[in-house]
Every structure is written in C-alpha cells, then in structure tokens.
Structure 1
Amino acid sequence: MNVVQALEAVAADPRGVPAKAVARRLGQSLSSAYYVLQSLSALGFVEPSPVSHGLYTLGPKIAELFRGYVASWTLPHRLEPILLELRERAGVRVYAARWSDADLEVTCVRGRRGATELQDVSVGFRGAAHALALGKVLLEAVPPDHWPAYLRKPRFQAYTEATITVPNRLHEELLRVRRVGHALDVEEYARNVCCVAAPIRDGAGRVLAAIGASVSARRFRYEENELRAAVLEVAATASRLLKALDPLSMFLSTVTPRVCYEGKKEPAAQAVESLEGEARGNARRDSRAVP
C-alpha cells in the first residue's frame, strides 16, 4: 500500500514533489519516504526531476504500464463493436487478429448469414500469415527475425495457386502494404474467397491489431473499392479512439525504461547505490519530524 500511495503522491503534481510530501501522504518518517522513493526509482517508476533538485516525478515505467492497459483495448470483447460496425456496413464476414507468440492469431470472428467465409479460420486460428490479408498487415510491422519458423524457409506453403511462396515476393508485397496502408488476399488462402485487411494503430503508429473482411471473388471484382474504403475507415476510427485513449504513446515511442540519477543513465545497481547515498544525505539534512 505504501508503494501505491507514494506513486499517487508523485503523480499529483507533474512538476514533481519533494520527499516530504510523500512522507506526509504515507504518514511515515522522511527516511521511510526516501527508502520507498529510491526503490521505485531503481525500477523506473519514479525518477529525480531533471530540472528541480529534490523533487521526484513519475518515471517511464509508468508509461509502459499504461500502454499495456491501452493494448488491452484490442482484446476481442473490446474490438467486437468495431467488427460489428464493419459487418453491418459492408454486409460481410469480419475478423480481428493480433501478433502473439511470433505468429498471427485470430481473436474475433463475426459473420452474417450468407456471408463468404474463410474455411477453418476461426477464433484461435494461427498460421498462414503470408496467405492472409490479416497476416500481411501484421507481418509488415514485425522484423523478419521475429517471423514464425514457417516463414524462414526458402519456400512457403501454398494454399492455392495464388499463394505467395518465396521470400522475395513476400517482402515486395509487404512493401506495398506499408505504402498503401492495407493488405489484400486475392484467393491466396482459399479459392473463390478474397479479403481486405487494415491495421489498428496506437498513438505512436505501432500496429496493435488487424481487422479484415472476406467476400467472394465475384463480389470482390465489383466491390473492391467500396470494401477497401469500409475496412480502412473503420480501422482508422479504431486507431483514433486508441490515440485519444493513449496520450502517452508518442512519448513512449522514444523512451525506454531506465534508472536516472542527475541526468545520467546508469546500471540499476549503481543507481540504487547513488540514490541510497542521496537518501542518507537528505535524511541527515532534514531530521526534523514531518509536520
């Protein structure tokens, strides 16, 4: 409980708070407050203010935890309203997927009677990232050395005659996905089924999930532009909601968790030693009882 109360005290003022304020919040001695602060600082949850000596501000680890909360927004039950909007708007079967354990994982599927579907692609489906529009969207955002083992071979599994089966061709396709902002699967996973997918991004532009829709090849020939526009618009709306929810993501994209002391990056053990020294010095300078 002391740790939570200390974090709440530090968060109360973005300019930083002194150890005295934390001690008052905890109802404990100044030396106890310094001990809690130095422990939190060593882990990156708080840090000495870079502009005001003696003050503490929240550290970058807080932003990382907050982003974890934002990422939970892409869980199936939170994506469902977005998928339902796309399903009703376009009259199609819709899907959501994320990157999990080095592969595509389908997390949500919503259809309507008569809508063309991808056979065997249901919740929990993994694999075939090179053949699915959902997979291409996710692969574009992942370094090749983090791809699944089946995509580190000289040839990939062919699901139809249209499946991309060689690395060079896949890399070319992913460059196109990056350029246009969406991916297509034109009978690459299943004959007579085509898909369009687009990314859901956080405020820093990172891909958190992909949403897509499947239609028959015949319908795709006549309605590709309309389907693409619907998928892109719904994905963009979801991304805007994420950006509004996550004002720290732009900051987090350039900051990594660290332990700071007087503006220098140090190993955690050295930082703890330094902070302990500062705590002892501060406690000696101000041994008065907390008012």
Structure 2
Amino acid sequence: MGRLVPAVTRSLDILELFLEGDGTLSAPEVTRRLQLPRTTVHELLTTLAARSYLVQIPDQPGRYRLGVRTYQLGSRYAEQLDLAAEGQQVAREVAETCDETVHVAILEDTDVIYIAKVDSTHAVRMVSAAGRRLPAHCTSVGKMLLASLPQPELEARLKGREFTAMTPASITDPDELVAALAAVRERGVAVEHRESNPDVSCVAAPVRDSAGRVVAALSISVPMIRWSEERERELAELAAKGAGDLSVRLGHRGA
C-alpha cells in the first residue's frame, strides 16, 4: 500500500467539513476545526475553488460552499449505483431465460469491473463475483467496452500497455487486439473463447445511457461443455436483448 499524500488528505478533510451544519464555512472556521496553518488552509481553499469543488458565496465574502464539481461527482456515483441495481435486475431476467451466468461490467482504464452477477443453476458453472477486476483485453465485456471508445481515447489507453495473458488463448499482441476490436464494432457483439478462463466462453453486448454512450456491457458466460456455434448465436441475440433492456432502463431511446 502506498503512502497517503498529506495535501490530498487535507483537501478531502476540508470538503468533508461541508457535510455538516448549513454547508458553508469560512477560512478561519476551517483553520480552527482542522487545526491547520492559516496559509495552508488559504492555499487549499483557493485550489479547490479554482477547480470548482468549492465556490465563494457572492453576498458573504470569505465564505465558501460546495461547488458544481462535487455535484457532478455525486451524480456520476448515483448513476453507477442505478446502473448496478438495474443491471442486477436485468442480469437476473437474462439468467432465468438461458440458465447461464450473466455479468454486467464497466470499464476502468484498461480493466473491467463486474458490478452485477447472477449465477447459473447448473452444477458446472463459472466461478466469479461482483466487484472482481479483470484485464479488459481478456474478456468479452472488456473487448466490447474498448471497441466502443472513440478512436483517440482507445489509442491513448492502449499506448505503451503490456497485454498479459490469463490463458494460452489470451490476446497479447496489440495489432491482434486492434483487429479483434474492429471485428467487435462490425458485429455489434463481442465473443471470447477461453481467453480469461480456459474452460469458459463468453458473449457480450453494449449497454447505453440516455445520451447513447456505452457505459457498460452485459455478458453471458458458458462452460465449454455447453458451448457450440449454435449456442453462441442464441446467446449473442439474448445478450443483445438484455443489454438493450438495460439501456432502456437507463433512459436510452435510440435504435
């Protein structure tokens, strides 16, 4: 575990003070309550205000309240909570239809984080958990999410990355990954065979928000003993339908 950065810790301490009382504070009040040097408090307040995490109250000189940036962060957090809750419900509906393991995942840098999961009832099934993080290039959800990024952002995320293998089938060559992502964009769904687990194949489809942005992916994972080309086609359609249903729940109204 890395060391804590004092300036960041103090900045967060200041922001958390605004959760109490009437939500407004002056520099002397912050200084007194946190027992920090006056100059330090002034510099931190100035920095937070410059980044819109705080704003000075127009008719009360020297007093601050929370700024728009904190609202934006809170709204994004709320969106993710909604996504997780709605994703769990849709994943349950999809799993009831196919009796296979269903995940919903989001992209963080070049990893995916699973935010919802419903298990198959079969004795042979995928072992995983919500909250698990995996390299995006090894998973169907990850390839779906990477393929949905604007090209400049995709290139920036992949630049200089080392693509480690989870299984012998994992993609580790950057050019091969770029080609695979192009195929995902063309097909509209992503498939991976034994790339994250040597005994499992998966298919994934994109989940969009009210603005049409891809914010998550829904996947169906199947042990190889139950996998076939026909099953892949069936599950690709089901994953696309489930992802579409989740998109509608998030306010998406596009095609």
The corresponding residue for 2:222 is 215
Q: Distance in 2 between matches of 1:196 and 1:44?
A: 39
TM-score normalized by the length of structure 1: 0.56
The corresponding residue for 1:88 is 96
1:94 Cα deviation from its structure 2 partner: 1.0
Gapped runs of 5+ residues in structure 1? 4-33, 37-42, 46-60, 250-291
Q: Which residue of 111, 115, 130 maps to 1:103?
A: 111
Corresponding residue SS for 1:204: coil
Larger Rg belongs to: 1
Corresponding residue SS for 2:247: helix
Task: Out of 80-89 and 220-229, give the one that drifted further.
Answer: 220-229
Contact 1:131–1:189 (CA<8 Å) still a contact in 2? Answer: yes
The corresponding residue for 1:178 is 185
The corresponding residue for 1:134 is 141
Q: Distance in 1 between matches of 2:165 and 2:87?
A: 30
1:187-208 Cα offsets, whole Å, 9 max, x none, are 2222231101111111222111
Q: Say if 1:102 and 1:171 are closer, same or farther in 2 by CA, change over 3 A.
A: closer
Contact 2:100–2:121 (CA<8 Å) still a contact in 1? Answer: no
The corresponding residue for 2:251 is 243
The corresponding residue for 1:158 is 165
1:44 Cα deviation from its structure 2 partner: 7.3
Q: Say if 1:145 and 1:118 are closer, same or farther in 2 by CA, change over 3 A.
A: farther
Report which structure shows greater RCO (CA 8 Å, sep ≥6). 1
2:198 paired with 1:188: no
CA RMSD of aligned residues (A): 3.5
TM-score normalized by the length of structure 2: 0.63
Q: Which residue of 147, 152, 155 maps to 2:157?
A: 147
Q: Which amino acid aligns with 1:132?
A: T
Corresponding residue SS for 1:83: helix
Q: Say if 1:118 and 1:63 are closer, same or farther in 2 by CA, change over 3 A.
A: same
Structure 2 matches for 1:119-130, cutoff 5 A? 119=127, 121-130=128-137
Q: Distance in 2 between matches of 1:238 and 1:115?
A: 28
Q: Say if 1:192 and 1:65 are closer, same or farther in 2 by CA, change over 3 A.
A: closer
Q: Say if 1:117 and 1:144 are closer, same or farther in 2 by CA, change over 3 A.
A: farther
Contact 1:97–1:210 (CA<8 Å) still a contact in 2? Answer: yes
Gapped runs of 5+ residues in structure 2? 1-20, 24-56, 60-66
Contact 1:163–1:188 (CA<8 Å) still a contact in 2? Answer: yes
Contact 2:86–2:249 (CA<8 Å) still a contact in 1? Answer: no
The corresponding residue for 1:202 is 209
The corresponding residue for 1:225 is 233
Q: Which residue of 62, 66, 81 maps to 1:72?
A: 81
Structure 2 matches for 1:247-286, cutoff 5 A? none
What is the identity percentage for the equivalent residue pairs of Structure 1 and Structure 2? 28
Contact 1:116–1:215 (CA<8 Å) still a contact in 2? Answer: no
1:107 Cα deviation from its structure 2 partner: 1.7
1:62 Cα deviation from its structure 2 partner: 8.5
Q: Distance in 2 between matches of 1:229 and 1:123?
A: 23
Report the count of equivalent residues. 195
1:35 Cα deviation from its structure 2 partner: 4.7
Q: Say if 1:146 and 1:118 are closer, same or farther in 2 by CA, change over 3 A.
A: farther
After TM superposition, which residue ranges in structure 1, 4 or more long, deviate above 6 angstroms?
A: 61-65
Q: Distance in 2 between matches of 1:82 and 1:137?
A: 18
